[in-house]
Amino acid sequence: MYIPKHFKMNEDEVYEFIHANGFAILFSQHNGEPCATHLPLMLDESEHTLYGHFARANEQWKDAEFQQVLAVFQGPHCYISPSWYETEKAVPTWNYVSAHVYGKMELIEDSQTIYDSLHELVTKYENPDSTYDLNDLEPGFIEGMSKGITAFRVKITKIEAKAKLSQNHPVERQERVIKQLENSSQQGDRKIASLMKENLKK
């Protein structure tokens, strides 16, 4: 990933971003061609590892083990018009936040590790007021459902992350962009505006 110094994220920012934007695209080579699957991934910071699972019918897992894979986490993004800068010496651009996580994939065979990773995933995304809990399901049902997936971990070898939020422009110009984005009806525009405001406080 090309990351100018203005847009580089520190480690804490990267981890927070991945936790908040866990639905990723996982790339590997399959049958000699690039292959990608959209799926939720869980980050274990202490292990420096990503956990996830494929549907067993998805053949990407069959040759992904031991490969150097790439997980792409995408955050909000939006178009930035040069007309907002109040200058003619500018061009259109795009603001966004994204992280690329590289690592070696290992398939998981241990049933307890598989269950723990599934439980953690459900706990993260299930509504706190929900009564649904994997622990309430019969062990036989969980075991049967688990046969339909292939669980894996990715031992992280490198992380590249970028928050392109107009930091390379003067503060006054950033504030004009924020004002325009806050008035937008698009959710992505407003999210970028919020991130830009937070960045200006640093």
Q: Is residue 88 predicted with pLDDT exceeding 80?
A: no
The DSSP H or E segment spanning 101 is strand 93-107
In a domain, 132, yes or no: yes
182 vs 194: CA distance, rounded Å: 8
In a domain, 15, yes or no: yes
In a domain, 51, yes or no: yes
Sign of CA dihedral 117, 118, 119, 120: positive
Q: Indicate the DSSP class of residue 8.
A: B
- The residues pairing with 105 across neighbouring beta strands, listed in sequence order, are 154
pTM for the structure as a whole: 0.92
Calculate what percentage of the chain has a pLDDT beyond 70: 100
Q: What is the CATH number of the domain that holds 12?
A: 2.30.110.10
Mean pLDDT of 160-171: 96
What distance separates the 2 farthest-apart alpha carbons in the chain?
67
Cβ atoms 145, 111 nearer than 8 A: no
Q: How many domains is the chain built from?
A: 1
- For position 176, what pLDDT does the model report? 95
Q: Structural domain of residue 158, as residue ranges?
A: 5-169
In a domain, 179, yes or no: no
pLDDT tens string 11-25: 999 999 999 999 999
In a domain, 50, yes or no: yes
Q: Is residue 152 predicted with pLDDT exceeding 90?
A: yes
Question: How many angstroms separate the Cα of 87 from the Cα of each of 83, 182, 183?
Answer: 7, 20, 20
In a domain, 200, yes or no: no
Q: Indicate the DSSP class of residue 5.
A: G
Q: Is residue 87 predicted with pLDDT exceeding 80?
A: no
In a domain, 26, yes or no: yes
In a domain, 175, yes or no: no
Residue 43's Cβ-count burial label (10 Å; 0-12, 13-18, 19+) is buried
197 vs 195: CA distance, rounded Å: 5
Q: Indicate the DSSP class of residue 169.
A: S
What's the pLDDT band for 202 if we cut at 50, 70, 90? confident
